[in-house]
Amino acid sequence: MTKKERAVFVDDYLGKKYPETPIPLDHKDPYTLLIAVLLSAQCTDVRVNQITPKLFAKADNPFDMSQLSQEVIADIVRPCGLAPMKSKGIFNLSKILVEKYKGEVPQKLELLEELPAVGHKTASVVMSQAFGVPAFPVDTHIHRLAQRWGLTSGKNVQTTERDLKRLFPQDRWNQLHLQIIFYGREFCTARGCQGLDCELCHILYPNRKHPKKTKKS
């Protein structure tokens, strides 16, 4: 298969396997999604969904959140890891949303990326899942799977994101991002497949004999 043929096959395969793509992080609006995505850095969605109800019971909007202390926020989000950084980011971005955006989450990628603790991937998730704007957030797992499936040879998530955006139709980006995540978690795990064991890897590379090592910069 050529790279384009692999992309068409992956798109069709995942579209049939995961016709429904619920957002894994519990939220009620763009602000609570933004906070949940921020907390998910180096943490599982399951753990985040256990912690956010406790946090949002105290503050589920930037006005209330900016009235809490960083210490209170940190105590609640500590099980998600990186509590000092995450609590500082949540507090400071909430203040900015109140002071600069009247409590609303901006609907532009570049404005989201200006917020404390909000990187490109987090901003892309909010744009796609909260506002429906085409984006293709790429984390290390999607980066790994894209290499296993021969969709990129990039050594970093930025290159992989560009490659995936070129290969797939823009109207598929938002859903396909989630479908890749679902498949990776269920079948093509970091150590459980390594490009050798799952059905998709077998179909795309039936003669592969050795684990596919992820290229990283």
- Residues with a catalytic annotation lie at 121, 139
Which of 147, 125, 102 has its CA nearest to residue 33? 125
Cα 179 versus chain centre, distance: 12
CA angle 82, 154, 121 (to 5 degrees): 35
Q: How far apart are the first and last CA of the chain?
A: 27
CA angle 197, 1, 215 (to 5 degrees): 55
Which of 217, 91, 208, 66 has its CA nearest to residue 149? 208
Which of 110, 112, 157 has its CA nearest to residue 130? 112
CA distance 127 to 190: 27
